[in-house]
Amino acid sequence: SSVESELEKYLDVVRNTDTAVNTHEVKETKKQLKRHIKQADSTLADLETTVRVVEKQRDKFPHITDKEITERRGFVDSSKNQISRAKSGMQSEEVKNKFARDERALTERRSGTGRINENQPLPTYSGNGGDDSFVEEGRSETMMMMQRQDETLDDLGMAVTRVGYMAESIHEEIDQQNKMLKDLEDDLADAEEQLGMVMGKLAKLLKTKNKCQIGLILILSLIVLVLFFLFIYM
């Protein structure tokens, strides 16, 4: 699936590049992975709702067999597991350790204490050397914290973008509804104007301006028409 392929791309970047230096590619691949996971979650939620409706109202969907429902339910469960694995893989211990090693190595290169084997644990120094080691560890932790904050800000930015799209859609819908209401008001005004003209002509015909009398005559005329059609079709 697309989620699994995006997860493999992200893990490949994490495993085969220096995540402390190649931050742009790491962020972009992770952003793509998150986007695919979110889209898959949304699509899967709609599909699961549809399956649940069909299961509860079987008599309304006779063209869908029990086998098809079982297959779709199985697909939903399988997709859920894939999404769960992708989320876990994105935050796995392997990924976290790789980020920590790369940040530690970058800190050591900057301080001029880099080691040949990056997997080798930090040595213990006495005196100032121990202080240097402590400072290096502190810098690594700070870099990791800043990276997590960047990821949080990226997620927040995506959420703000989605809210912006929703606001635009709501604005367009409100504009359409306002236009429909205006058209309805115009139609009502035209109908009221035409009704006034009819009432005026009827008043001239009956030589009266009493609105109650005119209304009573209209009601009686309508009753006569209804009775006439009922008599014809009975």
Task: Note the pLDDT tens digit of each residue in 38-62.
Answer: 888 888 888 888 888 888 888 888 8
* Predicted pLDDT at 139: 62
For the segment 15-44, the average pLDDT, to the nearest whole number, is 86
Given a cut of 70, whether residue 100 has pLDDT beyond it is yes
pLDDT > 90: what percent of the chain?
Answer: 2
* Predicted pLDDT at 184: 85
For residue 212, the Cα-to-chain-centroid distance in whole angstroms is 58
Of residues 163 and 69, more confidently modeled: 69
